[in-house]
Amino acid sequence: MAEHFDEQAAMQHYLVCGSEDCQKNGQFYCNDCRRPLCEQCRNEHLKSPDTKMHEIVIDIPEVILFPETNQEKGKIEPPEEVSTDMKVTEKQMDQSEQKSDVQQTLSLSPSVIKVNEYSVPGVQNACHISYKSGRFWVSDSRQNLVQTDLQGNLHQRIHTSSLFEGSHTVTQDEDLVYTDSDNNVIFKMTPDKIITEIINLKAEKYTPLSVHSSRINGDLLVGMIAWEESRLTRYSKTGKEIQNIQWDDEGKELYEYPNYITENINGDICTSDYDKNAVVVVDKSGEYRFSYEGQEDLTFFPRGICTDTLGHILVCEEDGDVYLLDQDGGFLSFVLSFQQGLRCLHGLCLDDENNLYVGQYFTKTLTVYKYLK
């Protein structure tokens, strides 16, 4: 019977609860036990004295096992194979053995497929991309912030003061949160276009650069700078300050210019710091974990950053490369490189089907790639 239900789950593209004798939809995931949980088993998990302190990740994205390219209106380019080398290393093989059931439904593809291209209306270039429910918010270097869909239709347009940073994010409630660096505040706009100020940094004299809405608990992670110092601050989704992250255990500053932020599936906060030429990663409590400073003999000017459902860290670099790192900062491969003709990369984003959207400074076209299978 269990085999029947597993097969049915695969056909319907959902995750089966990892508890014994339970075949319900595993819509939650325990990072400590490394297994998916249904809602009932999650509640029992959190009540048990042995597991009540475990970290439960909510709202795991649906995993599409056999994606097909939908050649509908507005999609310009047919799929084509990109020759980036994605050979599996021994390190990746070791890691794959440790992945949970939810993670094993996807794996790195031996090659990267260019799925499509979209021209974004209302912007000059694509410096940052936020995605939610089939729509994108894209900002450029001319202080434009627009919402568009996969057919290239322009839905909304806002004038902001941000430039080359990860200055906006979309919450689980589909609110747009964006920075105003000229006035040192952060705004929230609801789907019905009501705009409110939720964070004010004027008294602290900090300028917000980047913002990310946590998929785990809805917290807002904000990268900011002041005179000769920088920090990352965690706020509740209503704007209440929760945590400041600024120094490592030795009292050294973690950040110089935290211009893009994301969060990994284990709660790690991953920051692209342009001035440090590094990706800086701390855990959910703010403890320093590691920094990635690029590959030997290659310049590293990191920009857009995101993470996938396997815990990989993806970061794009100005020279035209997209780096793939493991959860502990180990280099796995180049997903894309300047050899594919990409230049001055800035924006990086994943959608619900693990398609990778790449934005460049010299064009307003978003290029879409598939690197997982």
Check residue 294 and give left, alpha or beta (phi > 0: left; psi -120 to 50: alpha).
Answer: left
Q: Residue 81's pLDDT band (boundaries 50, 70, 90)?
A: low
Length of the chain as a residue count:
373
pLDDT value for 201: 95
Taking the alpha carbons of 286, 39, 236, 207 in that order, is the dihedral positive or negative?
positive
pLDDT value for 360: 93
Most confidently modeled range among 50-54, 64-68, 203-207, 338-342: 203-207
CATH 3.30.160 residue ranges in the chain? 2-57
Percent of the chain with pLDDT over 90: 60
pLDDT value for 110: 78
Amino acid at 55: E
State yes or no: pLDDT of 144 exceeds 60.
yes
| pLDDT tens figures, 306-323 | 999 999 999 999 889 999
CATH 2.120.10.30 residue ranges in the chain? 80-372
| pLDDT tens figures, 103-134 | 456 788 878 999 999 899 999 999 999 999 88
pLDDT value for 3: 35
| pLDDT tens figures, 17-64 | 778 778 776 666 676 676 777 767 876 776 677 776 666 654 333 333
**Is 181 within 8 Å of 162 (Cβ atoms)?**
yes
Considering only CA atoms, which of 212, 250, 205, 203 is closest in space to residue 229?
205
pLDDT value for 98: 43
| pLDDT tens figures, 183-204 | 999 999 999 999 999 999 999 8
State yes or no: pLDDT of 177 exceeds 90.
yes
State yes or no: pLDDT of 167 exceeds 60.
yes
Check residue 183 and give left, alpha or beta (phi > 0: left; psi -120 to 50: alpha).
Answer: alpha
pLDDT value for 95: 43
pLDDT value for 106: 75
pLDDT value for 41: 81
Structure tokens at 52: 């009540």
State yes or no: pLDDT of 168 exceeds 70.
yes
Question: What average pLDDT does the chain have?
Answer: 82
State yes or no: pLDDT of 366 exceeds 60.
yes
- 101: helix, strand or coil: helix
pLDDT value for 244: 97
Average confidence (pLDDT) over 74-80: 42
Element (H, E) at 41: helix 39-47
| pLDDT tens figures, 265-304 | 999 999 999 999 999 999 999 999 999 999 988 899 999 9
Which class is 2-57 in CATH? Answer: alpha beta
> Can you give the pTM of this predicted structure?
0.74
Q: Candidates 3.90.870.10, 2.120.10.30, 2.70.98.30, 3.40.50.10490; correct CATH number of 80-372?
A: 2.120.10.30
pLDDT value for 332: 95
State yes or no: pLDDT of 242 exceeds 80.
yes
Q: What count of other Cβ atoms lies within 10 Å of the Cβ of residue 11?
A: 10
pLDDT value for 24: 76
pLDDT value for 116: 92
pLDDT value for 65: 28
- 174: helix, strand or coil: coil
pLDDT value for 119: 92
Amino acid at 143: Q
